[in-house]
Amino acid sequence: MRISTLTNHTWLIYFIIGILLCAYGLNAFFLPWIELRHWEALLIDLEGEDYLPLHFRLLGLFAIGFGLFTASLAAIPYRAGVRWGWYTLWYIPVFLLCVTLFTPLGLSLSPVFMLSLAGLLFSYHRFFSNKFQENFSND
């Protein structure tokens, strides 16, 4: 596969990350209704009974929005070669680096971090070469 063909398809990395975030968000949002027994192990006192399902629903809504934002950003401006799309997608590796460093989830997300970082670094030439920017001077 030629490098230019591969560079033109790096947007798919972020589109897939966005779709996976949406799937996670749907799972977190509907978990309180699907797995009713799931909460018994998490509830120590009665005050947490209303908090945990609400927390998961809000986390699910956030992840769905984050995923839709990422997928649409990858599919439209990043794919078209607009520089602000490339700059904006840096939030993915920065966010995943923070998750990798500061949470127990980090080790399982480190391959996604590496993939998102590689996608941005590999597409650098596409966004910052003079030949490409002559064709897309709408920044």
- The residue ranking higher by pLDDT, 46 or 91, is 91
pLDDT for res 12: 87
Q: What are phi and psi of 100, to 5 degrees?
A: -65, -40
User: What's the rounded Cα separation, in Å, for the pair 98 and 101?
Assistant: 5
pLDDT in tens, 9-35: 888 888 888 898 888 888 877 877 776
pLDDT tens for each residue of 103-126: 777 778 888 888 999 999 988 988
Query: Rg of the Cα trace of the chain?
Result: 19
Q: Say how far apart CA 45 and CA 50 lie, in whole Å.
A: 10
Is the Cα dihedral 106, 50, 53, 56 positive or negative?
negative
Over residues 73-87, the pLDDT tens digits come to: 989 999 898 999 999
Is the pLDDT at 50 greater than 60? The verdict is: yes
14 C-beta neighbours (distance < 10 Å), count: 24
Dihedral angle over CA of 97, 87, 25, 76, nearest 10: -150
Look at residue 98 in the predicted model and tell me its pLDDT.
84
